[in-house]
Each structure stands twice: as structure tokens, then as C-alpha cells.
Amino acid sequence: MKRFFILLSLGLSVFPLLLAQKSTLTRQGTATQLQVDGQPFLILGGELGNSSATCAADIERIFPKLKRMGLNTVLTPAYWDLTEPIEGVYDFTLTDQVIEQARRNNLRVIFLWFGAWKNSMSCYAPQWFKEDYHKYPRAHTAQGKPLEIASVFSETVFQADNRAFTRWLEHIAEIDKETGTVIMIQIENEIGMLESARDYSAAANKAFQSSVPKALTTYLQKNYRQLHPQMREKWNSLKQRKEGTWQEIFGNDIFTDEIFMAWHYASYVERMAQTARSIYNVPLYVNAAMNSRRRKPGEYPSAGPLAHLIDVWHCAAPSIDLLAPDLYDDGFKNWVAQYHRHNNPLFIPEIRLADNNGVRAFYIFGEHDAMGISPFSIEDGSDAPTTPLVQSYRKLHELIPLLTRHQGKGNMHGLLFDQQDKERILFFDDLTLTCRHNFTLPWDSRATDGSTWPEVGGIILRLAKNEYIVAGNGIVVEFAKTSEKQQETKRQTLGEDGFLQQSSEKTITQQTTHFKGTRCGISSVDEIAVQPNGEFQHIRRLNGDQSHQGRHVRISVGDWKVLHVKLYEYK
């Protein structure tokens, strides 16, 4: 009888978990894929502004617009202060409204738990929490100044945050377990310390003087060859010590302070993640504000889930599925490369809303097998069919069956060009693909009128030998045998008709070296649509002026196309 009651009590908590497997993470080759309802799913998302889900009327107004924009997923804050306005009294009205509107508009939801911390600060904690700073203590600077940042070293802070998180998740499990509208959950938001690299409260100082957890040094030792270079260098600085305080193992500087705080933030989040796993088992992630512009820890949110701290976060928070970057700075290619690692798939939950979001989406899906992208304050964007984001999402939605079939197999690349970075050389088999910004072709007046070239990009996918997909906006691709490319003479500027752009008084000298090997030519270029089952629907054949008389494949700036290219060889 005793065993029966134990199983029954366990069943009450396990039952929602078993039914909450509408979204999972799986591996395909080198890629981690999000699966929803048993099918690979790419997030064509948008994140609402911080206050846009605080009003039921706003939610009802915004969600139909998001559907018109071509989104398949909306990232929506869930606010602790509005969920538990009175301690122990919960209101899930806004959560219900989000899920209801998402279902009406065929959208999936990723909830962002704005709990103890949002952009470092505890601004979304309820008033009763904020006012009782004795029970729920704050972090302090080295000068003893209290901050509006709840202390991660307080058990009462955790219990209050986790209790509300638990009740909220239980409600989601109850209303969503059959449908699976909620596909991921973000725990906290841009967690980290500001003003100081670490907390200097009494509890924090005591922890800082304590020994580094053995679990961390064991992890560093076991994964040494794959550690982030910055972490490996830091640990090497004191000869890879395995016992001692934080300063004895990592040194006396603010970067040691950051590692210390990262361990404790990640440990806190791990406990939250374990709660989520036991109630509603969907993929979990945390997001980071970037350590950009040469800022030091504390000038940016110190100790957040940043790329150089990935090892600390993975060790202390193994229940978190991925660390994700929020991108607002220059250097997009560099940032995404830092977050796409062997042990961390790429998902961009937040990026500045701009016209180039679409080409960047193409790039990360092709280059980094990304899970998805989500421009911030998406409701401020246009839902006009001609806007770049709407056009790009329409094409990407069409491409999902094709892209997910090839993720992780090493036969896709992404392209992203601007006026400074305008060419990339790719190699497949014995072919060389020269990929460039379309404005490198001289006959588009926008290329030479003095205006800044727009960022353009796309995807190159090898389907089989001599068969490719070229998709995106504003790119041109030339195909040549690698041996042919090595024998190439100086490139001459040709007009769109294929004739020499401008006559030269100098006599054109013929190549004296005998050409060896075979050449590659374009057999056909077809603009296509990709059907939901992955099959191709022919739209039109492109040739003549549209392929520069068979010299290249191109998509003009401002156009969004999917091209099916077949090549042939000749001597």
C-alpha cells in the first residue's frame, strides 16, 4: 500500500512531463535540431517589446499582425510582478491570452521568464519582494552600495522566484500539455552583475573565500582540449591548480570575480531548470547581453551566459540546453561563430530589428545550422508583403523541409556580404564557387552611385555532384573546376551582354600556356518553389541575360529567390 501511494504521488508530477514532449532536441550529424510535433522546426521568430504583453488588448492586436509578417514563433515575456502581484496569489490571465492568441494565429510560443533578473536588474520582481530587502537581500558593490539586483547568494530569493516559476509552469502544463503551443522556455533574462564584476555582500564574500567546487576543476580537467581558449588560458595562468579558493585557482582580477559569479548564477539557474524539467519538459535556454565595445565585467552584465564562460555554465547548469546571444553590436559573423560550438547550437533569441534581419537569417541557417532567429520589438516592424523581413521569412518557411533535411551534413554554407566584405570562395568536390555581392557586377547603377551597399546574403546547398540550390537576396555565384580556376587569366570587366565593358588601346595578348583539364558550365538555372514535402515546383527557367549568358547564377539586390542549378562538364 505504501508503494502504491508513492507511485501515485510521483505520477501527479510526472504525468504533465510525459505529455509535454511536443518539442524536443535531437541530433542530426553535427547539428542539433528542434523538433516540434515530431518534425524538424526552424524558428522564424520575433520577440515582443518588454511591455507589449502586459495588456490583453495589445496581445489581441499584435498577434494577427505577427501572422501576416510570416512568423511561426513569438517570444513573449512572462512577468513575475504581474503573475504574483500579492505574495502567494497568482494571476495567469496574460499567459492564457498569449497562448490563446498564438493558437488562433498558428504561432508557437517561447516564454521568457522575467523573474529575479531582467537585464541584470530585479525590476520585474513584485513590489512585496522589492520592499522586503531584509528577507530578500540585494547585491552590493565593493563600496557597500546596495543595488537593485537580488543577491544570487540568498536562498529566500531563490525560493520566492522558484515558487512563482513553479506555479506558472504548472498552469502551462495544465492548459498546454495536449497542444504543445509552448515549445521553449528562457529562464531569467540577460542575467549578470552590473557596476561591479561580482557581488560584495557578506554572503557573497564568504562564498568567494571558499574553495572552488571540485565539480568545476574536474570539468576543466576532463574537457581541457575543448575549453574556450580564454578559459583555458585563465586556468593555465596558475598552472591548472585543482584545489583552492577562486583567487588561488584563477588569479586576483575582475575576470576571476566574473568566473565566480558565473558559477553561482548558473547554479541558481540549474535549480530553476530542474524545476522546469519536472513539470513541463520543453527545451530550456538562457540569453546573454554581449561583452562588446571593449567593456569589462560589470560594465556589461558580468557572469552571464557569455561565450568565454560557456564552460562554467555548462558545468554548473547541465539542464540548460543552450546559451544564446542577444545581438545589437557590429561584428555579426564573429558573434554567431562564438556561440556555434561543438557543445552549443546557435539560436538568436534577440537581435536589433532591421532590414538586414532576413539576409542574416539565411546566413545562420546555411553557415551554422541555426535553430532560429528573433528580431526584438517585432511588433514595431511592418507587415507589408514587400518588406525585407516578410519576404525573407516567406522564402525561409518554404525552405524549411529542405534545410532541415541537410543540417549537420556539411553540404551547406551561408553567405553574408556588405561593401567591405564582398566575396567568399567555397569548395565542393573539385569545384570552386566564387560568391560575391551582386553589386560587384558593374551594371547596377546602385553599385556605383555613392550609396552604401546593403547587406545581402543567402545559402549555398549542394544536393549532389553538379547540382546546387542557391537561395537568398543580392548574391552572384560563379562555378568553375578548381583546376580551371588555377589556370584563370586576369579577370576582364564584362558588360551584361557578355562583351568587354570598355575597349582598351592595348593589344589583347592571348594565353600562351595550353589549357589542361575540363571546364564546368551551367546546364540550367530554374527558379523554384519548395513544397511542404520538400519537392521542387518549377516557376521559370532563367538563361541569357539572367545568367550572364551562362557565366554565373545571380539574385538581384531586393529579390528573394530559390534557384535550382545544374552543371555540366566539357573539354
pTM assigned to the model: 0.92
Under a CB-based contact definition with an 8 Å cutoff, are residues 421 and 362 in contact? no
Contacts of 276 (CB under 8 A, 6+ apart): 165, 169, 185, 187, 282, 284, 319
Cell numbers standing for residue 422? 564582398
Delimiting residues of CATH 2.60.220.20 domain(s) in the chain: 413-489+514-570
Phi, psi at residue 530, to the nearest 5°? -100, 125
Neighbours of 320 (CB within 10 A): 21
Percent pLDDT > 90 in the chain is 87
- The answer to whether residue 315 scores a pLDDT higher than 50 is yes
Domain at 413-489+514-570, CATH class = mainly beta
- Of residues 369, 351, 285, the one with CA closest to residue 110: 285
Cell numbers standing for residue 100? 490563446
Task: Tell me the per-residue pLDDT of 340-394, one tens digit each, with 9 for 90 and over.
Answer: 999 999 999 999 999 999 999 999 999 999 999 999 999 999 999 999 999 999 9
The single residue listed with the C-alpha cell 506558472 is 168
State how far the Cα of 311 lies from the Cα of 223, in Å rounded to an integer: 9
Task: Tell me the per-residue pLDDT of 261-289, one tens digit each, with 9 for 90 and over.
Answer: 999 999 999 999 999 999 999 999 999 99
Delimiting residues of CATH 3.20.20.80 domain(s) in the chain: 21-209+262-410
Say which CATH superfamily domain 21-209+262-410 falls into. Answer: Glycosidases (3.20.20.80)
Residue 380 DSSP SS3: helix
DSSP 8-state symbol, 223:
T
Cell numbers standing for residue 191? 542575467
Under a CB-based contact definition with an 8 Å cutoff, are residues 265 and 317 in contact? no
Apex CA 53: angle with CA 51 and CA 58, to 5°?
A: 100
Task: Tell me the per-residue pLDDT of 405-419, one tens digit each, with 9 for 90 and over.
Answer: 999 999 999 999 999
Cell numbers standing for residue 473? 537576396
Comparing 502 with 543, which gets the higher pLDDT? 543
Task: Tell me the per-residue pLDDT of 70-86, one tens digit each, with 9 for 90 and over.
Answer: 999 999 999 999 999 99
28-67 per-residue burial string, b: 16 or more CB within 10 A, e: under 16: beebbbbbbeeebbbbbbbbbbbebbeeeebbeebbebbb
Residues in the chain: 571
